[in-house]
Amino acid sequence: MAGDGSHLTAALIARKLRDSGIDCEIVHPVPIDAAVVRRDRVVIVLAVALLTALAWGYLLRLSADMNMGCMDMTGLRMIPSGMGLMMQAEMPWRAMEFALVFVMWTVMMVGMMTPSAAPMFLMYARVGRQTGAQSKSLSATVWFAAGYFLVWVAFALFATLVQWALERTALLDFTMASTDNVLGGFVFIAAGLYQWSRLNDLCMAQCQKPFEFVMRHGGYRRDAPGCVMLGLRHGAYCVGCCWALMALLLVGGVMNVLWIVLLALLAFLERVTSMGRLIARLAGIVLVAGGAWLFSMGMS
């Protein structure tokens, strides 16, 4: 009877939350074997590590290819293909070049954001086990991850279009770095101010607490469409946290490996550590200061 009373109370609370516009789900945890949890963790960690390694391997190959431009790149631009392709700077992009730049951005987003998404993937698989979806836990996690990465693919497409526009106006050099200190300073300052914004805080709150995110947005989904939709929602919050940092790639150089590593590390520390908001604010101060310096250099 006590158990029935608890269930009725939980149902009443859930109903009131739904009536107030907060989506939620009542979860009844089931016992799970610790060995199964460890196996899931190993599988997911290995998959994340492999995906990250493959992405970074591709980026390092592209970076080495871009460094071939040490000779004399006057009037030329490098195409991120890994095969030393170059083209006259004044020539418009062709479909193949657009596709290669899009692939570059997609792989870069996967390499940068997969490690910080790992805690979410691990938690989603564990919740699946605890809610009784024993046979579907890992497959549901794969569908969730697919939705998450689909958002970053869309962001990569947008970044490709922005890069195309900047190159058409000669605001990027052959290394895909900004040629205008005023523009670079503006982007740094905007990114620094965004680190202090309320919107960034709201998005970061969704990313820092994976379990709360799932419970706030309808709970664990067993079906593929539901998993993908939940992954899309989580990916949207992730983009909301990190889009301004990704814009900095167009200032420091899209193929500047050190710059990519620093931004990926900052995104990871903000989303995974308990001091994420403090780190974001400190980074914001540094970015605004750096932007002011670049702006002054461009105006002098």
β-bridge partners, 88: 76
Can you name the residues that pair with 78 across neighbouring β-strands?
A: 86
Q: What is the pLDDT of residue 180?
A: 84
Predicted local confidence at residue 95, as pLDDT: 87
Can you read off the two tokens belonging to residue 37?
């949890």
Residue 14: per-residue pLDDT = 52
pLDDT tens digits for range 227-250? 999 999 999 999 999 999 999 999
Q: Please state, in angstroms and rounded to a whole number, the distance separating the CA atoms of residues 156 and 104.
A: 8
Q: Which residues of the chain have pLDDT under 50?
A: 1-4, 6-7, 10
Report the distance separating Cα 58 and Cα 64, nearest Å. 10
pLDDT at 1: 41
Nearest to 177 by CA among 82, 260, 267, 96: 260
CA–CA distance, 140 with 162 (Å, rounded to integer): 34
**Cα–Cα dist 203/162, whole Å:** 23
In the prediction, which pLDDT does 178 show?
82
Distance (Å, rounded) from C-alpha 4 to C-alpha 146? 38
